Amino acid sequence: MEDINWLNVVSRFLHVTAAMIAVGGAIFTIFAVMPAVHVIPDEARGHFQQQLLRRFGKLLMLSIGLLLLTGFYNYLVNERPAHSGQAVYHALMGVKILLAFGVFFLASVLTGSSPAFEGMRRKRKRWLMLNVIMALAIVAIGAVLRAIPPVPPSA
Ligand code: HEM
C-alpha cells in the first residue's frame, strides 16, 4: 500500500474524468440535445443554445486543460521512461496526441463564437460527429497503450 504513488493515481483519475466529461458531453449533444431542440419555440432556441454553450464551454475548457496537464505529466514522467525504445508505443502516443489536438481545436471552434468559424458552426452536427469519432479513436488508442507491457528494467 505504501508503494502507491498517489500523484499518479490522482493524475489518472483526473485524466479519465476529464475524458468522460468531454467525450460524454459531445455524445449527449449529438444523440439527445440536437434531436430534441426542435421542441423549443423558434424565438427561444437561440437563447437556449447560447446558455448551453456558455455553461458547457467552461466545463469543456477545464477538461481540455486537465487532459493536457495530466496527459503530458503521465507521459513524460511515467510512460516515456517505462517504454523506452518501444517505437510502436511512442508512435501510437504521437497519433493520440495529434488526434487530441484536432479534438481540442474542433471543440473550441464549435463552442466558441469567433466569426472566422461561423461556417463550421452552421454544419455543427457533421463536425461534432467527426469529433466524437476522433475522441473514440483516442480512447481506443489509450486502451492499447495500457496493454503494451513496459520494458523490464535491465539487470
Ligand atoms: C481528447 C483527449 C484525450 C482523451 C479522450 C484521452 C483519453 C485517455 C484514456 C481513456 C486513457 C486510458 C486511461 C487508463 O486506462 O488508465 C488515456 C491514457 C493516457 N493518455 Fe490520454 N486522452 C486524451 C488526451 C491526451 C493527451 C493530450 C495526452 C498527452 C500526452 C495524453 C496522454 C495519455 C497517457 C500518457 C496515457 C497513459 C497510457 C498508458 O497507460 O500507457 N492523453 N487517455
Other Cβ atoms within 10 Å of 115 Cβ, number: 7
Rounded CA separation 138/64 (Å): 14
Q: Write the CA distances from 85 to 45, 96, 113, 151, integer angstroms.
A: 54, 18, 44, 8
- Say how many Å lie between the CA of residue 28 and the centre of ligand 1: 21
Interval 33-45: pLDDT, tens: 999 999 999 999 9
| pLDDT greater than 70 at residue 1 | no
Question: What pLDDT does residue 2 have?
Answer: 73
With cut-offs at 50, 70 and 90, classify the pLDDT of residue 85.
very high
| pLDDT greater than 90 at residue 75 | yes
Question: What pLDDT does residue 155 have?
Answer: 53
Radius of gyration of the chain (CA): 19
- Say how many Å lie between the CA of residue 119 and the centre of ligand 1: 31
Cβ burial, residue 124 (10 Å; 0-12/13-18/19+): middle
Q: From 11, 68, 74, give the residue whose CB has the most ligand 1 atoms within 8 Å, as the site to mutate.
A: 74
Q: Are 67 and 19 in contact (CB under 8 A)?
A: yes
How far is CA 107 from its chain centroid? 9
φ and ψ of 151, to 5 deg: -65, 130
Q: Mean pLDDT in the chain? A: 95
- Report the predicted TM-score, pTM, of the whole model to 2 decimal places: 0.94
Question: Per-residue pLDDT averaged across 121-132, rounded?
Answer: 96
